[in-house]
Chain A
């Protein structure tokens, strides 16, 4: 705990660097996964089609995707010997974002689907009687359900920022290039430097709390003006 406080207080340059990269990768992944997952969740809530139950079951199951497996799949795709090898993306933050998007999109979509489904039950008659188009319905539901959807995104962010298995493989934990908080914790643990690993863990928890507080602060001010 003291070591964590000392690291933060002295603005240790290495700590600042890996913390910034953690934020960049996980926030980036959360934004992209939200852009995919939230509309997908809403679309699944308002549409009835034969395979719907099946798709939702798959989506829920994918919430439990082992990050190591995702990491390995992304590695094989972006390896120089893989189909996208020419892009040279392996061991870059971009590859880490891609892996995390795959991991957290099912979570965001599943939580969003659940929230929108309940809202849809309330709004169903109104939107149908207004003869809103399907796109309008989804837009309305996404907007009015935005606080619940923020929870969906934050759940995704929480999984991303604490994830180590996938980004270790596709990022490689390269010093000053792809090292983030979780991979640094794994490295320090491997060295038996438990104090340092724990200190980084506290920084990680603090960071997650800060991001959540920040978003809640923003959303509350928005709500005051809206309602």
Chain B
């Protein structure tokens, strides 16, 4: 083995490793998306079809958008329309593509002491909980779920405060653990709840109000602001997410026989 072959070998190895590196992209996603288990279904298919290895950063919507604004990820997949539009208006991303939605449910003690389950609408359920001053755990972390919860309190015309209202400032899983430990009410996305393994005495007490629908959107980071983002891969991934295959996989994903996400891109 001469010096030359060693150098050539090293160069070749470097080139192949950078070629492999080029197929990786980073996407910030919400905890609810990752905890649902859908990522475990989609990512291997994405890799097989496009060769892209999508590395997920699992954070709240607030942090996901902050990572995108700083250029630390190539795209974000989150669910908080108002925050997304503000983020786009600030020049952080190129556009917003709606992909799918899931829904939120109110989880609480199965005996339902506040009788939230008897309410007609989501706002009514919240009024019942607040009226009974039943313990309620809030994410309190500026995530998409938290923002949705705050909008609903506002719509219900209730200012949630007092000993019964506990803002834990943590992710969905940690908040569910707290609610389970305190036998409290909590708002959760359906996927996280179904996948959650420490349910204790809790169960779904209220569901089905259309205001609880939760739209997920895909937002590429603006390459004019951050030239290093992998726009090619970001576009390929978007094309895949808009494909029939993605639609079928997402609609077919179930836990305990329940469909979790409804594909609605291009509608």
Contact = CB atoms under 8 A, between A and B. Distances in A.
Contacts of B199: 192
Nearest to A79: B70
Interface of A: 79-82, 85, 88, 90-91, 172-175, 177, 187, 189-194
B94 interface: no
Contacts of B56: 174-175
B174 A189 contact: yes
Contacts of B154: none
B173 interface: yes
A161 B219 CA distance: 36
A189 B176 CA distance: 10
A53 to B, nearest CB: 39
Interface stretch (B2-10, B101-109, B129-137, B190-198): B190-198
Nearest to B34: A187
Interface string B166-200: 00000111101100100000000000000111110
Interface residues of B, number: 25
Contact of A190 (B31, B57, B70): B31
B72 interface: yes
B198 A194 contact: yes
A-B interface, 5 closest residue pairs, ranked by CB to CB distance from nearest:
A190-B173, A192-B198, A80-B71, A192-B197, A81-B70
A191 B226 contact: no
A104 to B, nearest CB: 25
Contact of B172 (A82, A88, A173, A190): A190
Contact of B57 (A82, A91, A191, A192): A91
A155 B121 CA distance: 56
Contacts of A173: 57-58
